[in-house]
Amino acid sequence: MLTLASDFGTPYPAAMKGVVLQRTDARLVDVAHDLPRQDVRAAAFWLREVLPWFPPAVHLVVVDPGVGTDRAALAVRAGDHALVGPDNGVLLPAARALAGEADRAVEVFEVAYADPASTTFHGRDVFAPAAADVHEVGVANLETLERVSPVDGFVDLTFPEATVTEREARGTDRNAGGTDGEAGGFDARGEVLVVDGFGNVVTNVPGRVLDGHFGGEVLVDGDRVPVRAAYAAVGAGERLVTVGSHGNVELAVNQGRGDEAFGLRVGEAVRIESA
Amino acid sequence: MLTLASDFGTPYPAAMKGVVLQRTDARLVDVAHDLPRQDVRAAAFWLREVLPWFPPAVHLVVVDPGVGTDRAALAVRAGDHALVGPDNGVLLPAARALAGEADRAVEVFEVAYADPASTTFHGRDVFAPAAADVHEVGVANLETLERVSPVDGFVDLTFPEATVTEREARGTDRNAGGTDGEAGGFDARGEVLVVDGFGNVVTNVPGRVLDGHFGGEVLVDGDRVPVRAAYAAVGAGERLVTVGSHGNVELAVNQGRGDEAFGLRVGEAVRIESA
Amino acid sequence: MLTLASDFGTPYPAAMKGVVLQRTDARLVDVAHDLPRQDVRAAAFWLREVLPWFPPAVHLVVVDPGVGTDRAALAVRAGDHALVGPDNGVLLPAARALAGEADRAVEVFEVAYADPASTTFHGRDVFAPAAADVHEVGVANLETLERVSPVDGFVDLTFPEATVTEREARGTDRNAGGTDGEAGGFDARGEVLVVDGFGNVVTNVPGRVLDGHFGGEVLVDGDRVPVRAAYAAVGAGERLVTVGSHGNVELAVNQGRGDEAFGLRVGEAVRIESA
């Protein structure tokens, strides 16, 4: 199985598919070709969220603002998976997630496909043939490929962690009902990692802080906002705090855009605390 | 064969594909992942139009504004096809179309996948594994799955029917030529079901009312508009009435947007009558 | 292998896939379904760029503003490939490229699928079944299909060629350093063929004119612009001239839109000359 992800839109991904299919009969699965353009961090986030759901595969990833410069091309082994793409950090968060599940270390290799036909489309001329070759030789044997060799250094990318302080809850009225368990007091200072296509604001605050607060409220940058498990648990157009499918605290609006309602953008600080 | 349809955009569908591929080697076919967002009626319409063209398959459908609430998850058997998705009506029009072709009844089952990993992404955590399991056990045997059981009630969804009155044509000049047969007089009062991506206005008026009117004109909300078989049979930017690929009367503009030219939106009434 | 390309957006391509899958078990590959709407020239350009990267396949192409008129349906054999689509020129540039690689001539056939179910969706009712049938009978035998016959005439489509005059370079300072070889003087008068989704302006000027100019500058409509191999070789938001993945001169902006920065649209003239 070989998956493809890029920020190319149309129709460049088709050229990559053709190149891959010249070299392998692998099943192809499109992950996405409309990842946020040239946004390495957002792509890294989304790949970390979706690739771990796949069975063992080679993942071709091309979000590559540095195409044609001297940035290297990488193949990364992560358990039974491999990722192939540019050396700009986009592969690493997903690779760590995949390797972690297999209790293995991430292994990084350089892919030296010399003399690509273009300096502007290494997705087609470097990464697609490399990914197909890794698929054919097998993830376990990828370093047996002639043009693949271990590297010492590479560009890493990590997401900032939120600071969470446990504390006594202030102002939570336990007699008001509606909460679903023991609500721990907390004060979390984090930031916005990405905004998804629905406008949901994905923070780096771990979802566990909301344990016991469902049905109640928390403070988001000082404003009281209901904590609910489902978007539709509040009225259309109303704000809520929830835990997204990635396990992080998410700020949303039922049938609306959370980014607009909360006035938050990627990289901005957000404080979430018990009420 | 397992098809996937959603309103997720990018990149959430990839997680569903991964989950499905963990459980089955079925051929995957993307139907669409940019169905109109959280618009259950529009999704139901489009699925009814496209799914009957497929060979027997399991169709995973996730347009689910009620995710995380207590709405049920359904598996619907329709002839040799099955549809898996939320209990909000989105599956039913397509299911009736598929079952009707097989001269069979629609059979509705509840899917009880307990304790999903999220409350916000049942496409990944409930519907994808359920659809894969239905594919593996076979549509004919889906009720043998442990977590599948018949239901009594479910949310249905039907599209309004137009009222069509046959009548003597008024004002049709048979000597003007250009009509293609016997033009029956009619007065149809319907509504707009959907507007497609080209801006074509799809009504619920059955296309047969236009028999014999091609080459002539009909009245749309009182305005005379040419009836043509092809968009390009009128000049660029000009309006026409035609029969769309769904068999309904469609209001269009050659190389333009019918919704803007006719000033019509989804759900609005439209009257189409012989001239 | 059967590829699909259209300007349909959502969800009409799914109906084509269903029809194809009723007739063949071929591997399906989506090339693109968001080709520029009803823009036969742009579609023809992109197909010429991407289809030659595929292994032998049948390519179903539907960009068809004349649907329902008397324009013919074609099957075109190009080496071991076949293309099926409307007779409006969209197939020809890709067909010539594919046939040229195989050192074979393009062979054009008419496909007479009588009485399609619709006059507005021949992608589903004519081209999809025809492409599936060509796949099943084999590209080499496509004329053995009952409804396929040679044609005399068809609509062709070619792209204009730029006029390139070699000349003495004026004003190039060879001592300034940074160039990568012998910079030939030239004066190219061409036009904009397409603008891609990144806003890169693809001209019809052959990339070879830039040999020896990388690291230096050329004049674009009289303005000095750096010539670089990589977008990121200039600062964010700055203009550059490069050779795109199609081999033509491309006008771009690093992390921005070349069409806006150069003020150029499809079909407009552009002059590129040595500085």
Q: How far is B5 from chain C (nearest CA, A)?
A: 9
pLDDT computed for residue A69 by the predictor: 84
Out of B5, B50, B198, closest to residue C18 by CB:
B50
Residue B222: what pLDDT?
96
pLDDT score of C168: 65
Which residues neighbour B11 within 8 Å (Cβ) at sequence distance 6 or greater?
Answer: A5, A31, A32, A35, A46, A47, A49, A50
How high is the pLDDT of residue C114?
A: 65
Q: Work out the average pLDDT over B193-198.
A: 90
Q: Alpha-carbon torsion B95, B97, B98, B101, what sign?
A: positive
How far is the C-alpha of C214 from the C-alpha of C220, rounded, in Å?
15
Question: Which residue in A31, A46, A255 is closest to B38 by CB distance?
Answer: A255
Cis, peptide link before residue B65, omega less than 30° from 0:
no
Residue B255: count other Cβ atoms within 10 Å of its Cβ. 16
Domains (range + CATH), chain C: 2-150 (3.40.50.10790), 163-274 (2.40.30.90)
Q: Do C118 and B34 touch (CB under 8 A)?
A: no
Asked if the model's pLDDT at residue A233 lies above 60, the reply is yes
Confidence of residue B184 (pLDDT cuts 50, 70, 90): confident
pTM of the predicted model, to two decimals?
0.91
- Residue B251's identity, in one-letter code, is L
Per the CB < 8 A criterion, the answer to whether C9 and C36 are in contact is no
- CA dist B251 and B261 (Å) reads 9
Which amino acid is present at A14?
Answer: A
- Judged against a pLDDT cut of 90, whether residue A118 lies above it is answered with no
**B179 vs B135, residue with greater confidence:** B135
Q: From the CB of residue B274, how many other CB atoms can be counted at a distance below 10 Å?
A: 25
Interface contact A34-B9, CB threshold 8 A = yes
Type and span of the H or E element at A84: strand A81-86
Angstroms from A209 CA to nearest CA on chain C:
38
Note the maximum CA span of chain C: 71
Is A28 part of the contact surface with chain C (CB cutoff 8 Å)? Answer: yes
Which residues have C-beta within 8 Å of that of residue A68, sequence separation ≥ 6? A119, A120, A122, C228, C229, C230, C231, C232, C233, C242
Name the region of A263 (left: φ>0; alpha: ψ -120 to 50; beta: rest).
Answer: left
A118 interface with C at CB cutoff 8 Å: yes
Of C30, C38, C68, the CB nearest to B229: C68
Closest CA to A94 of A142, A144, A85: A85
User: Cβ contacts (< 8 Å) between C125 and chain B: which residues?
Assistant: 245
Nearest to B53 among C10, C15, C119 (CB): C15
Q: What is residue A54's three-state secondary structure?
A: coil
Gap between the Cα atoms of C180 and A69, Å rounded? 15
Bigger pLDDT: B129 vs B120: B129
Contacts of C6 (CB under 8 A, 6+ apart): C12, C13, C16, C32, C33, C35, C61, C62, C63, C123
3-state secondary structure at position A117: coil
- The answer to whether residue B158 neighbours chain A at the CB level (below 8 Å) is no
Average pLDDT (C195-218) is 94
Nearby residues of C201 by Cβ (< 8 Å), 6 or more positions away: C192, C195, C250, C251, C252, C258, C259, C262, C264, C270
Residue of B nearest to C16 (CA): B53
pLDDT classification of C102: cutoffs 50, 70, 90: confident
C153, with CB counted inside 10 A (0-12, 13-18, 19+), is: exposed
Query: What is the complex's ipTM, to 2 decimals?
Result: 0.89
Whether B67 and A244 lie within 8 Å, measured CB to CB: no
Of A194-198, B117-121, C188-192, the range with the highest mean pLDDT is C188-192
Chain segment C126-147, per-residue pLDDT in tens = 999 999 999 999 999 999 999 9
Degrees, nearest 5: CA angle A134-A137-A143: 70
